[in-house]
Chains A and B, each alone.
Chain A
Amino acid sequence: MNSTITDTADLVPHHPTGSTDPIGDGATCPSTVSVIGQRSRSWVSTVLVSAVAVVVSIPVLVIVWSIVQPSTDVWQELWATRLPGMIQDTATLLVAVLVGTLVLGTSLAWLVTAYQFPGRRVLGWLLVTPLAIPGYVLGFVWLDTLQEPLGARGVRSIWLCALVLTITLYPYVYLFARAAFREQSQRSIDVARSLGCSRTQAFWRVVLPMARPSLAGGVALVGMEVLTDVGAVRLFNVSTIADGVLRVWFGTGNRNAAAELAVLLIGVAIVLIAAERLARGRARFTQSGLRTGLHVERLRGPRAAAASAIGWGVFTLAVALPIYRLITWAIEARRTDQTATVAGDLGFHLMSSLRVAGIATLACLALGLLLVAGLHRRRIGGTVLARLATLGYAVPGPVVAIGVLVTLAAVDRLGWLPDGWLLVGSFVGLIYALVVRFLAVAYQGIESSVGKVSPSVVASARTLGAGRFRVATQVELPLAGAGIIAASVLVAIDTLKELPITLILRPFGTETLPIWVWQATSESLWVQAAVPSLAIVAVGMVLVAALLWALEHGAETVS
């Protein structure tokens, strides 16, 4: 493995194969020499890359700009009535889920990395699968399951909502933590132990602090997902800011009020990221030199049984139980007279979902490759352009949706398009918003994979007579291929589950699976929500399997 990974070079907020940085510093990759991108220094590439960066960042900048406009009546009314509660609920939920995912994700990652016990290998994979189950699906399954013991009132609590989100979102932290633990060297632990630390103390004083940037990267993603979530919070009657944006938009149709509320979300996101940045200072977290890997301790007897039980327990709560409940409901739905409509609806919604997710993923992949090729190792302006293009990563979904809406409405008002054509409410508008939100995921995954290709491999290829194009297509892309696939799959999973952007921007007639679930669960029709939920989970599982394959494969080709 190339050991020249520095904390600025290895920015993979959404890409769990590398050590990470919670927010993209973008294109700087100082220690690697890469051919991808070297060629495209012409003005064409500069114009293209700048155009992408500007177009993608406009909706976010529009939202930020909205704060300088005078407050509307709606905003003032909100401030006087519901806003303090929203802020409090958002903060409570955020803190609870961040702490929860950090503890759960990190401990599970440590369990499967440092200990050997029955089922360890299988669990290592299965513990990622909650990624395939959206919070708004797990939410209604648990809601129904816990209704009897807790009662209709008790069940709709912010703490239960936090628990549901923790269980669906911990895989982000888990994947990052596992990658970080795998990269660490046993020697650090050896030295710590020779200096008087027990194994446990070495974990707290050395292993954990060194994994901090990766953990922060995972936690930052979780934070963004919590701020984005509108499905699970609605189920549990938690009124967060994101929920407020949605309510304001659908209740009053007032763009400005929604935008101003959305600024609050950006503020929370920035505080989240800046806090970790400041805490890190000049310290580095990657080691140069030999990576020997951590020694695995074999657990025996009751301790091994306990380790297995914890892993299987989490898997049961997060995946097995919900899938079981969904299947029984789906069978019930088939038995009742809705059968014909359900089957017809399923095909229609599934195709709709696949079309949206597929096109958005391809767009992110294509633009991500374009950005990496155009920005790789670019000194002047590269960082700024990359930051612009990946702003959407730090912006919760409802904000992106409102920002895109405002932008598209402005373009429509200009009247450049042919008569009768409107961007607002069009398929293009929806894809545009999804690209704004998820381009960073693709970009940073591709960037980090290409950055990890060893400079000496590229140099060898060049001296063997391979031209730049051949090196890019036959050496760099195959080596980075698994990482690029992993990034694309993550985008696909995200767009498949996506709710708030689709809710706000979907064109008439575009009914995705999450929309179906949303509509059914709004009226507490669990049985009806089961069929589309199962479809999401099924497609999600396939994608998670592809992701795991790519991560595993990527680890092989890089090392």
Chain B
Amino acid sequence: MNVDSLARFRADEATATVPTRMDFTLDLPRAALSVAGVTRHIGGRDVVDRVSFDVADGELVVIVGPSGCGKSTLLRAIAGLDPMTAGRVVLDGTDVTALPPEKRRIGLVFQDHALFPHRRVDQNIAFGLTDLGRADRTRRVDELLELVRLPGVAKRYPHELSGGEQQRIALARALAPDPAVVLLDEPFASLDPSLRDDVRTDVVEALRNRNAAAVLVTHDREEALALGDRVAVMSDGRMLQIDRPDEVYERPNDRFVATFLGDASFLPDPDAPDIALMVRPHDLSITPGGSDAVAARRYLGAAWRYTVRCSDGTEVDVDLAAGPGTTPLGVGDACTVVVDAGHPLHRLPA
């Protein structure tokens, strides 16, 4: 490892501070949804542990985390479908903690869309519009079908639609009663990868058009970074960080957040023993010859991903651009790891 190269990209002490957990405050115009200290205790364990966050009007917050981290449980608690052990849920300034789900004004979209198979599309969308007259109801249904770009399917049954269309109808149904917030639980997980992008775009656009506040839960980190106005990372029932996607990716406050959102290695800061420097594989480069050695390599298309064992025993991942004419190093070849980030490295507690 070339320590000099590391020194060049050490962050300026003035600009990079080590963040403490959850001490952010954001100036939100008005919180459509405000979750405070929500805890759900099941079987001797806090499946959701003191989670707090706000969602502004028109904002899409994506909660991402590995399966079993409590993100779906959190969503169900916000919706009032499951009881919570502690905490408060405030919707549009009204405390709804004690209200049953039907009184909360929440829209729900599930992975398996949960459309009512015995009702036509228009009857599905109109399900929550019980207090509208017939004419208003029809108008609203048409308007929503227009919104999700599926005019003309009103008289069909759910099983007569494709998976992507079903999911868009599920969104239309959730939006119909004009909910204060829409909760989406892995809405794209069961869609074909080829369809997923289009449906995602349509769904997010529909949410934006309605200026609807929304919370989307996913285990897909790319989806989270691409869709969210803010991204919240959860692990073991705790919300570790919530911030703009570029912030959580570039300035994670926790090693789990850093490695969950993308590959990362941590290098000891030569001057400060309690600080680790986060490097993503594209922040590093290698040159042939030296005291480090290639332990493994993998072709990613755009790059070669090398796993290099450094002379001090640590292992780091390095991406090196691939292309015609480039000759990759082989496993066991001697090399030197060089930091080549082009920006100050992010500092984390060691």
Interface residue ranges, A against B (CB under 8 Å): 185, 187-188, 190-199, 201, 205-206, 209-210, 212, 282-290
Contacts and interface: CB of A to CB of B under 8 A. Distances in A.
A349 to B, nearest CB: 48
B112 A290 contact: yes
Given A284-B117, A284-B118, A284-B157, A194 B112 contact: no
B91 to A, nearest CB: 12
B127 A192 contact: yes
B174 interface: yes
Given A187-B112, A289-B111, A289-B190, A194 B101 contact: yes
A283 B102 contact: no
Interface string B99-121: 01111101110111110111110
B159 interface: yes
Given A195-B128, A196-B128, A197-B102, A190 B117 contact: no
A194 B159 contact: no
Given A197-B102, A284-B157, A290-B111, 15 more contacts: A193-B80, A194-B79, A194-B174, A194-B179, A196-B103, A198-B100, A198-B102, A209-B116, A210-B118, A284-B117, A284-B159, A285-B118, A287-B117, A289-B111, A289-B190
A192 to B, nearest CB: 7
B331 interface: no
Contacts of A205: 127
Nearest to A195: B128
Q: Which of B104, B116, B128 has the most CB of A within 10 A?
A: B116
B39 to A, nearest CB: 20
A528 B336 CA distance: 102
Interface of B: 76, 79-81, 100-104, 106-108, 110-114, 116-120, 127-128, 130, 157-160, 173-174, 176-177, 179, 190
Interchain residue pairs A-B with the least CB separation, the first 8 = A289-B112, A195-B128, A193-B101, A187-B114, A194-B108, A284-B117, A283-B118, A193-B102
A193 B127 CA distance: 11
A197 B108 CA distance: 13
17 contacts: A185-B112, A191-B173, A192-B127, A193-B80, A194-B104, A194-B179, A196-B103, A196-B177, A199-B100, A205-B127, A206-B116, A209-B118, A209-B119, A210-B116, A284-B158, A285-B117, A288-B112
A104 B310 CA distance: 75
Contacts of A285: 117-118
A130 to B, nearest CB: 30
B176 to A, nearest CB: 8
B118 A194 contact: no
A289 B186 CA distance: 13
B174 A185 contact: no
B110 A282 contact: no
A193 B160 CA distance: 25
A194 B107 contact: yes
Contacts of B157: 282-284
A194 B106 contact: yes
Nearest to B155: A282
A210 B117 contact: yes
Contacts of A192: 116, 127
A19 to B, nearest CB: 11
Contacts of B101: 190, 193-194
A557 B257 CA distance: 41
A309 to B, nearest CB: 27
B118 A212 contact: yes
Contacts of B177: 195-196
B182 to A, nearest CB: 10
Contact of B130 (A187, A191, A196, A289): A196
A228 B330 CA distance: 83
A209 B116 CA distance: 10
A372 B103 CA distance: 51
A286 B117 contact: yes
Contact of A193 (B81, B120, B173): B81
Contacts of B174: 191, 194-195
Contacts of B190: 289
Contacts of A288: 112, 159
B96 to A, nearest CB: 12
Nearest to B179: A194
Contacts of A196: 102-103, 128, 130, 177
A548 B346 CA distance: 64
Contacts of B116: 188, 192, 206, 209-210
Q: Which of A188, A190, A195 has the most CB of B within 10 A?
A: A195
A193 B107 CA distance: 10
A193 B81 CA distance: 8
Contacts of B118: 209-210, 212, 283-285
